[in-house]
Structure 1
């Protein structure tokens, strides 16, 4: 309404223009007729109201209805419009806002525009070469190491299969401004609706590292059935591979900044640990692993499950797996970790300078069974001749105690 009042002050009002859509159409028409020029319409973050109403269905419907009629002007007044550009994070498409806008071209996954929202490696070297050398000097790193670190932290976005990687411009520019590496994108704040979607859909977090989907899903609108379109369109997952035979995309985290930042962000939503405590808890986990203290590690892990409000958890087994995934993913940023899940069990390998841990987790089994599986499946065989001390650990979760029931270290 505020925007329309400002335009109407310039271009005037029309009789009978009482709704937002009619007023917008009137402004467009009068702007064209008064100036003789085609109208340019730029809409930034068209989806902001709907994203803020995720989870509130009544408000969501109301917002969609209002915006649908408002944006439909882009089609009905087509003869007066020279150019229109809408940007946003998520597609609220076919069932609402865009259902009437078939005269728009969606360039989200269109190769000529893959670099429109970011930086290519060539652009960085062409325009910011001096900054790279200055960053190297400030960080006491070689030029080559700085380039590699910049790539690992902020590169990796792919909006079309087999396209060049795109760097996050916000993070790159902040790195050069402050002359040090950091998780700058996450400092702007990650929306909690992403986590609410994951939890609402009982999503297995391990899938995020190797999600597979089709172009229809990547390009689809938000709905309650799958969090993947929103997670992908929000930039937390990106295209990692493409099977042209079946038209299947492989997704994953684009870079270290996103992966580590997002996993850290998830921790307070799945455990008792708040945002301020999380880095210190992870540090304690890592130190216990690096110092060869598996019993201390598992006592701390027990405490992560002890204070969880289980009445809010619909799938206890998935909750165990998701908490383990978060903990071991975060520990894995400081050690070498391989984490796998399959029906009814989890196996994990952690490697540090001095120790190798081979772990097997059971649900409603026994710690003895878990340890026996390590032996029978020869999980530890590749490390038998390793110079590092080897720990084989069997762990059992109990639904009755809703926690780690017992662990055995060999």
Structure 2
């Protein structure tokens, strides 16, 4: 999308869909993901370098050659990020153009930064999507826990250097977002409401899922924040799962508390 209103599609992806007669990540297959992997690895791009950025300016897009620009500008020009809307003169809100692009980027970043293989993401992603489809919330959270525990502990050194709890919680929200997107679940991070920001939010088949993450606290505290700030007011669906999650920074274990509205 060049203006946030008019969108393009991947013609080879459409052809492969009709040929295979099933939905797959054809966006990734018809692109050249190896160049993304090499780019991220050679420049030590981190998850937050991409997910913390919500906007991009025209100046940033035009000021450097593509091989020397920022990771976000590179992804916009490569088609893995797109303009969602124009915010101001020369300033645009950006997002993944589709779930396939988001899934591809998330899987590459999780493999590079946390040693979580794309094969494992594909296998667990299928289980996760099935659990969500069948509304088996405990199964869904256990799969997320398994993915979390599979991540390389060698990568946690940079996290431990973050002293403020707020920064730590923000980082883990980004990791959880990447895990969900990498598994093929389209979600939103830091969804704004009139009372605050929801850490993670997604819907499936008329059911909403609201997640609030805490670090070294309790899942009940996270759940109570959802209720106190009435985050479920955005739901408007037949059912909404309120999920409070606590992450123990020492051993990276997660625990949760769930309510249904």
Question: Is TM-score (shorter-chain normalized) higher than 0.5?
Answer: yes
Q: Answer whether contact 1:368 1:394 (CA < 8 A) is retained.
A: yes
Residues 309/242 of structure 1: CA separation in 2 closer, same or farther (3 Å cut):
same
**Within the alignment, does 1:377 sit opposite 2:221 as a pair?**
no
User: In 2, distance between residues paired with 1:231 and 1:372?
Assistant: 38
Residues 165/222 of structure 1: CA separation in 2 closer, same or farther (3 Å cut):
closer
Residue number in structure 2 paired with 1:193? 38
2:219 to 345, 353, 367: 367
**CA shift for structure 1 position 362:** 0.9
Q: Deviations over 1:313-346 (max 9, x none)?
A: 413535522321123334534xxx443279xx96
**Within the alignment, does 1:228 sit opposite 2:78 as a pair?**
no
Q: Deviations over 1:190-236 (max 9, x none)?
A: 1213433685355254346xx31222211223588831222222221
Residues 242/355 of structure 1: CA separation in 2 closer, same or farther (3 Å cut):
closer
Q: How does 1:63-212 map to 2 (within 5 A)?
A: 156=1, 158=2, 161=3, 165-168=7-10, 170-171=12-13, 174-175=15-16, 178=19, 183-187=25-29, 188-190=31-33, 191=35, 192-196=37-41, 199-201=44-46, 203-207=48-52, 211-212=54-55
Residue number in structure 2 paired with 1:303? 146
2:247 to 390, 393, 397: 397
* Higher strand residue share: 2
User: In 2, distance between residues paired with 1:377 and 1:177?
Assistant: 46
Q: Deviations over 1:365-407 (max 9, x none)?
A: 2222111111211122455x8543x433221112112232x21
Q: Answer whether contact 1:270 1:323 (CA < 8 A) is retained.
A: no
Residues 259/198 of structure 1: CA separation in 2 closer, same or farther (3 Å cut):
farther
Q: How does 1:328-367 map to 2 (within 5 A)?
A: 328-329=180-181, 330-333=183-186, 337-340=187-190, 347-353=199-205, 355-367=207-219
1:279 to 108, 122, 131: 122
TM-score (norm 2): 0.72
- Can you give the 5+ residue segments of structure 2 that lack an aligned partner in the other structure? 161-167
Q: Deviations over 1:126-164 (max 9, x none)?
A: xxxxxxxxxxxxxxxxxxxxxxxxxxxxxx4x2xx4895
Residue number in structure 1 paired with 2:257? 408
Q: How many residues end up aligned between the 2 structures?
A: 240
Residues 205/409 of structure 1: CA separation in 2 closer, same or farther (3 Å cut):
same
**CA shift for structure 1 position 305:** 2.2
User: In 2, distance between residues paired with 1:305 and 1:391?
Assistant: 21
**CA shift for structure 1 position 267:** 4.2
Q: Deviations over 1:41-97 (max 9, x none)?
A: xxxxxxxxxxxxxxxxxxxxxxxxxxxxxxxxxxxxxxxxxxxxxxxxxxxxxxxxx
Residues 207/167 of structure 1: CA separation in 2 closer, same or farther (3 Å cut):
same
Q: Answer whether contact 2:191 2:201 (CA < 8 A) is retained.
A: no
**CA shift for structure 1 position 268:** 3.1
Residues 366/176 of structure 1: CA separation in 2 closer, same or farther (3 Å cut):
closer
TM-score (norm 1): 0.49
Question: SS at 1:328's partner residue?
Answer: helix
Residues 375/167 of structure 1: CA separation in 2 closer, same or farther (3 Å cut):
closer
- Can you give the 5+ residue segments of structure 1 that lack an aligned partner in the other structure? 1-155
Larger radius of gyration: 1
Q: Answer whether contact 2:212 2:226 (CA < 8 A) is retained.
A: yes
Q: Deviations over 1:104-136 (max 9, x none)?
A: xxxxxxxxxxxxxxxxxxxxxxxxxxxxxxxxx
Residues 269/319 of structure 1: CA separation in 2 closer, same or farther (3 Å cut):
farther
CA-atom RMSD in angstroms: 3.6
